[in-house]
């Protein structure tokens, strides 16, 4: 039996070698046991999944295992971005969330993420307890199985992120955007928002294809080559890409140049402090740019440095008033919204920055 190890954001493995239905059962059983011992299990667990091979089946299996422990489960009725699951956990007061995804990894990987009741990556302390249950081979049975309901989780998510930005201003700016979902679970979401608000856009790689043809669903070079070409060919003012489960962002300027996560984080931080003047401190993973330190210092904001893994950022967001937190991989989140990274929300915020300044992304 393959050994299960939790990394910076859950467990991942190669499909059929490590990621097997037996191992999904084991992880789901450990999560159920954690919830029964440490949370109000009556609040239930929300389960979602991405576009990968067997993700939907694995999600239903995880839901069945958790429900067998007497914990009510709401299962996403369709492929859903990971941050939408996190938001649903907090909005609905659930005890936690489970997402079947392997994020930005190659097509032959899959995995499980666990979200805390606060709506973000489970903290190191929580994951230690889940690991303890896993090592004990926990598989709880708590009387009759609880109910499992299939629910839509996208509409509430779209409403929430739309309320976080000024879509009227973005539409008025008359910019044109390219949207690349990289065959991932963000498919159709940003395009729907742009379309509903009269914002000009073109789309690529929105279709369901678990092979992720010729790429890993990671919004960095070389995997965003098609986005760079599309931006130039279609005369767009910027292009936005989200990873396999839509919690990370990559961006492209009007001339096809790649904007890395360090620059995106810096652009957003500077705009929030200079123009929005939102309160709060800043937190960054230790491998991100020190430009953030200089920006924070200029505006008199305390900056925290943390280990790699958004769970450490989420932990700080619950302890302190954090304006923004991010990591080198393109995951950026906001304390006043949710202790979770969100590639779709950050795409909208970059569009908001452009509209507010009246300039394409590269300027």
Where along the chain do its domains lie?
11-157, 164-357
**The two domains 11-157 and 164-357 share their CATH topology (first three levels equal):** yes
What is the per-residue DSSP string for 27-61? HHHHHHHHHHHHS-GGG-EEEEE-SSTTHHHHHHH
- Top-confidence residue, 244 or 148: 244
pLDDT band at 10 (very low <50, low <70, confident <90, very high): confident
Give dist(CA 333, CA 199) in Å, integer.
Answer: 24
Q: Does 11-157 carry CATH code 3.65.10.10?
A: no
**Mean pLDDT over the full length of the chain:** 96
Q: Give me the residues paired with residue 338 across strands.
A: 334
Give dist(CA 279, CA 107) in Å, integer.
Answer: 40
Helices (H), 243-342: 261-271, 291-298, 310-319
Determine the distance from the C-alpha atom of residue 254 to the mean position of all C-alpha atoms in its chain, rounded to a whole number.
25
Q: Does 164-357 carry CATH code 3.40.120.10?
A: yes
DSSP state for residue 274 in the 8-state scheme: I
Over residues 131-168, the pLDDT tens digits come to 999 999 888 876 678 888 999 999 999 999 999 999 99
Number of neighbours of residue 3 by Cβ within 10 angstroms: 7
Find the range with the poorest average confidence among 4-13, 136-145, 303-312, 323-332: 136-145
Tokens of 201: 């856009």
Over residues 105-116, the pLDDT tens digits come to 999 999 999 999
Under 8 Å CB-to-CB from 44, ≥6 apart: which residues?
71, 72, 73, 74, 92, 94, 95, 146
Number of neighbours of residue 147 by Cβ within 10 angstroms: 11
Residue 270, classified by CB atoms within 10 Å of its CB into exposed (0-12), middle (13-18) or buried (19+), is: middle
17: number of CA atoms within 13 Å, CB side? 5
pTM (whole model) above 0.75: yes
């Amino acid at each position: 039996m393959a050994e299960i190890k939790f990394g910076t954001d859950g467990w991942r493995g190669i499909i059929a070698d490590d990621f097997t239905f037996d191992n999904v059962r084991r992880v789901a059983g450990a999560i159920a046991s954690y919830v029964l011992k440490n949370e109000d299990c009556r609040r239930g667990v929300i389960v979602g999944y991405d576009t990968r091979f067997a993700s939907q089946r694995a999600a239903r299996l995880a839901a069945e295992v958790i429900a067998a422990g007497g914990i009510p489960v709401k299962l996403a009725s369709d492929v859903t971005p990971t941050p939408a699951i996190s938001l649903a956990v907090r909005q609905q007061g659930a005890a936690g969330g489970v997402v079947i995804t392997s994020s930005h990894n190659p097509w032959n990987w899959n995995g499980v993420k666990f979200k805390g009741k606060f709506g973000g990556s489970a903290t190191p302390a929580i994951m230690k307890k889940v690991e303890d249950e896993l090592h004990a081979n926990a598989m709880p049975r708590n009387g009759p199985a609880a109910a499992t309901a299939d629910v839509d989780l996208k509409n509430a998510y779209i409403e929430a992120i739309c309320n976080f930005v000024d879509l009227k201003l973005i539409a008025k700016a008359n910019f044109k955007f390219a949207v690349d979902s990289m065959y991932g679970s963000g498919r159709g979401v940003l395009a729907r928002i742009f379309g509903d608000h009269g914002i000009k856009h073109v789309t690529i790689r929105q279709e369901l294809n678990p092979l992720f043809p010729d790429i890993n669903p990671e919004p960095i070079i070389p995997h965003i080559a098609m986005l760079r070409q599309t931006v130039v060919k279609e005369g767009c003012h910027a292009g936005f890409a989200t990873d396999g489960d839509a919690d990370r962002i990559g961006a492209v300027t009007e001339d096809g140049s790649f904007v890395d996560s360090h620059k995106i984080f810096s652009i957003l931080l500077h705009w929030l402090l200079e123009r929005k003047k939102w309160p709060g401190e800043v937190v960054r993973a230790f491998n991100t740019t020190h430009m953030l330190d200089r920006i924070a210092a200029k505006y008199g904001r305390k900056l925290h440095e943390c280990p790699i893994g958004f769970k450490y950022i989420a932990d700080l967001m619950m302890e302190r008033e954090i304006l923004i937190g991010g990591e080198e991989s393109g995951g950026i989140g906001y304390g006043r919204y949710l202790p979770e990274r969100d590639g779709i929300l950050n795409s909208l915020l970059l569009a908001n920055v452009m509209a507010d300044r009246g300039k394409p992304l590269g300027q």
